[in-house]
Structure 1
Amino acid sequence: MHRQTSGPGHRAASVTAAACAALGLGAGVGHAQPASDVRQAAEQHISTLYAQAEAATQRFDADEERIAQLQAAINDADGQSAQTRQLLDTLDGGLGRLAAQQYRDPDYSSALALLFATHPDNYLQRAGMNDRVAALDDQQIRVAEQAQRQLDALSTLGEQELQELQAARTQLVSSRSLIQAELAQARQQLADLDAADQQAVTHALAQGATGDGLGTSVPAQAPSLGTLLTTVASDVSQGIDVPRAQKAIESAYAELGKPYIWGAVGPDGFDCSGLMQHVWSAAGVMLPRTSQEQADAGQTVSLSDIEPGDLVIYFSGRTHVGMYVGNGLIIHAPRPGSAVQFASVTSMPISTIVRPDGS
């Protein structure tokens, strides 16, 4: 059933073939096996790829955040280094230059002593100079020396780590490209099905029938914003900040229908953790960037104690996150090809539930 491809698509085609083979399906699966087997193979393959893409997105976001933080630290160190150099420059003149040279180069004093020893007429001049050098602010020199050493070490370490992170990010971009190729091949597999099978597979993926829950939507049950905001006040029993929770939910509601976009934090699209960071920022609470970090960004609560505004972290790797909005629902950005939408709070395996600090 697969069309023959070459170039970049060939690897993705091989992955698809391998997935079908793992399910006991041959290359001519569309003609040799029952339609139910074809649908099951397509559903499982696409579901697996979506889960891989979601995990890769969170790793990508984490490295991108670390790169930004490290770059800021390096820039700060450069600024401090400039101040330190300015301080040292104040010692670069006359006797100050000699003092600075001695502090920079311990061997300089010996060389100077030898020089003076060969010119006896300069003994008294040397004695006067030593008195003036001794009067310099030794503590200031030691502070400058320590600061310079620290900044040099920070700069060296920072540049090394930045190179490593940039290499890691390059690898993640490459991995993401591969996953996108696999998704494209999976979609082609879906397109090769007849109309009835396409509809069945698409419906199964949208309803989370493959078991990952990422596509589950509840358009028939979608409540109005007014209902959700009323629910916040009526459901609260744990003393949360009602106005902040309402603001976060109002912000999330406003993003419904916007597309899932790799690594995005808005305003035109979001990934799962980017959406959570965006909506809680509107309520005055700054969350960390990734779902793994967000899992540790507040008080852990049980499902029985969940309140509107709580973050629900999913899967064992904590690779997905949504926000509980009441009525048994979350709002989340599921995966590539989807949009911000409602889902049941239990539509995916829950790892932990977090009440953000400050909420």
Structure 2
Amino acid sequence: MKRRHCAAAALIAVCALAMVSLPVQAWASPAPIPSAAAAPSARAGKSLAEVREEIDQLYREAGAATDAYNLAEEKVEKQTAELDELGRAIDEGRQKIARLKDQAGAQAREQYRNAGLPPGTQLALSSDPRLFLYGLNQMRQSQQASDAVLADMTRAQADLELYTEDAQVNWEKLEAGRLEQARAKKEINARIDEAKAIEAQLEEEERARLLELEKQAQAAAQSSWLSSGALHDINRAASPSGRTAVRFALAQIGKPYVWGAEGPGSYDCSGLTSQAWAAAKRPIPRTSQEQWARLPHIAVGDMRPGDLIIYHSDATHVGMYVGDGMVVHAPRPGRNVTLAGAGSMEILGVVRPDA
């Protein structure tokens, strides 16, 4: 049995890698599974179909909260970096003010040693015409130097005050970001725990039928999507960077979904796609919502391997198209990175990182 499992896993990996470069046939839906929609569940007499919808909704809500967490995390990292930079600027400003104060003090001490008159002024009072002219020039230069020190000190103090104000604003933003992270984390855990609690109420046989229902619904949606002609060319050629991104994503198959994770041992949905394109030297936004908002949109019918399919009306899930009507994605907690039909979920649209 163990040997057959290993052979099956190896076959899946070989087939997945072949998608990057070889034309293959369109993904076909599996044979229909006997419907378990009417079977009663252990949860308040609901059908398994209703239980599945409830669980799916909870995981979608967890996905939305994960996007909020990831976005807050990005903001926190950005604000932390800006605070570090401001800290260095404030320190440099203080050092500059200290140097200018030393310079101004040296000028004041020099005047004190000369009865309150700088050397240039003393020369200006000389009866020798040449010394008098030299003294005037020295006096002018001394005054200019003093004015310059005073102006530099004024600017340095103004800059320091501005940096301090900016640091305070950034600190407040940082704290707000941390609070948003904490709120999102609490929301994620609450939704996941609720979904797990529902599943825990089911008998083992019911959980198996629930999984069959899920597969059946995905297969039906994929078959309907393919037959609609939404995809003009199922195996359009990928760009060179797209091929690199696809190879990276396919190599992660089997690794677990963990919310907030960006690899190398686990991923959430946008962690997988962002890291795949980072491997292709094309950095993209971290979250699925930001990927949808900031990357160029293309028609679904024109997508090619490497493009990202954004799912659900709130853009809370993303997968990478790999050809043959399939996507590689990190589905949800409790599941691993896997291949799925591109049309097996509600498609919002498609974006192209290397457009």
TM normalised by structure 1 equals: 0.70
Residue 303 of structure 2 corresponds to 306
> Map of 1:146-225 to 2, 5 A cutoff?
146-190=158-202, 193=203, 195=205, 197-208=206-217
Q: Secondary structure at the match of 2:201?
A: helix
Select 1:259's aligned residue among 256, 260, 280: 256
Q: State how far apart, in whole Å, the 1-side matches of 2:87 and 2:218 are.
A: 54
Q: Secondary structure at the match of 2:100?
A: coil
Contact 1:313 1:319 in 2 (8 A): yes
Contact 2:100 2:152 in 1 (8 A): no
Q: State how far apart, in whole Å, the 2-side matches of 1:208 and 1:65 are.
A: 35
**Larger RCO, structures 1/2 (Cα 8 Å, 6+ apart):** 2
Q: State how far apart, in whole Å, the 1-side matches of 2:259 and 2:204 are.
A: 31
Residue 17 of structure 1 corresponds to none
- CA-atom RMSD in angstroms: 3.2
Residue 245 of structure 1 corresponds to 242
Tell me: CA distance 1:144–1:206, structure 2 relative to 1, closer, same or farther (3 Å).
farther
Q: Secondary structure at the match of 1:171?
A: helix
Residue 156 of structure 2 is aligned to residue 144 of structure 1: yes
Q: Residue type of the partner of 2:98?
A: D
Q: Residue type of the partner of 1:200?
A: R
Residue 296 of structure 1 corresponds to 293
Larger Rg: 2
Q: State how far apart, in whole Å, the 2-side matches of 1:31 and 1:246 are.
A: 46
Q: State how far apart, in whole Å, the 1-side matches of 2:313 and 2:345 are.
A: 11
> Map of 1:13-52 to 2, 5 A cutoff?
30=42, 33=45, 37-52=46-61
Residue 74 of structure 1 corresponds to 83
Q: Which moved more, 1:80-89 or 1:199-208?
A: 199-208
Q: Secondary structure at the match of 1:307?
A: coil
Q: State how far apart, in whole Å, the 1-side matches of 2:91 and 2:353 are.
A: 39
Q: Which moved more, 1:293-302 or 1:307-316?
A: 293-302
Q: State how far apart, in whole Å, the 1-side matches of 2:331 and 2:204 are.
A: 26
Shift of 1:177: 2.4
Select 1:351's aligned residue among 329, 338, 348: 348
Instruction: Give unmatched runs, 5+ long, in structure 1.
Output: 1-27, 100-121, 217-230
Q: State how far apart, in whole Å, the 2-side matches of 1:291 and 1:91 are.
A: 51
Q: Residue type of the partner of 1:173?
A: K
Residue 74 of structure 2 is aligned to residue 65 of structure 1: yes
Q: State how far apart, in whole Å, the 2-side matches of 1:352 and 1:138 are.
A: 60
Tell me: CA distance 1:85–1:333, structure 2 relative to 1, closer, same or farther (3 Å).
same
Q: Residue type of the partner of 1:267?
A: P
Shift of 1:38: 3.0
Select 1:87's aligned residue among 96, 104, 113: 96
Q: Residue type of the partner of 1:89?
A: A
Shift of 1:149: 2.5
Q: State how far apart, in whole Å, the 1-side matches of 2:339 and 2:68 are.
A: 24
Tell me: CA distance 1:77–1:184, structure 2 relative to 1, closer, same or farther (3 Å).
same
Select 1:56's aligned residue among 42, 65, 68: 65
Shift of 1:235: 1.9
Q: State how far apart, in whole Å, the 1-side matches of 2:212 and 2:97 are.
A: 70
Tell me: CA distance 1:65–1:78, structure 2 relative to 1, closer, same or farther (3 Å).
same
Q: Secondary structure at the match of 1:324?
A: strand
- Cα deviation per residue 1:168-192 (whole Å; 9 max; x = unaligned)? 21222222221232122112122xx
Contact 2:274 2:285 in 1 (8 A): yes
Tell me: CA distance 1:32–1:89, structure 2 relative to 1, closer, same or farther (3 Å).
closer
Instruction: Give unmatched runs, 5+ long, in structure 2.
Output: 1-39, 109-114, 122-138, 223-232
Residue 345 of structure 2 is aligned to residue 333 of structure 1: no
Tell me: CA distance 1:251–1:32, structure 2 relative to 1, closer, same or farther (3 Å).
closer
> Map of 1:266-305 to 2, 5 A cutoff?
266-305=263-302
Identical columns (%): 30
> Map of 1:98-137 to 2, 5 A cutoff?
131=143, 134-137=146-149
Contact 2:59 2:192 in 1 (8 A): no
Q: State how far apart, in whole Å, the 2-side matches of 1:73 and 1:288 are.
A: 19
Residue 23 of structure 1 corresponds to none
Q: Secondary structure at the match of 1:316?
A: coil
Contact 2:73 2:181 in 1 (8 A): yes
Q: State how far apart, in whole Å, the 2-side matches of 1:77 and 1:30 are.
A: 58
Q: State how far apart, in whole Å, the 1-side matches of 2:96 and 2:339 are.
A: 59
- Cα deviation per residue 1:236-263 (whole Å; 9 max; x = unaligned)? 3xxx6x2211111111110111110110
Q: Which moved more, 1:274-283 or 1:139-148?
A: 139-148
Q: Secondary structure at the match of 2:297?
A: strand
TM normalised by structure 2 equals: 0.71
Contact 2:192 2:333 in 1 (8 A): no
Q: Secondary structure at the match of 1:335?
A: coil
Number of equivalenced pairs: 281
Contact 1:47 1:210 in 2 (8 A): no
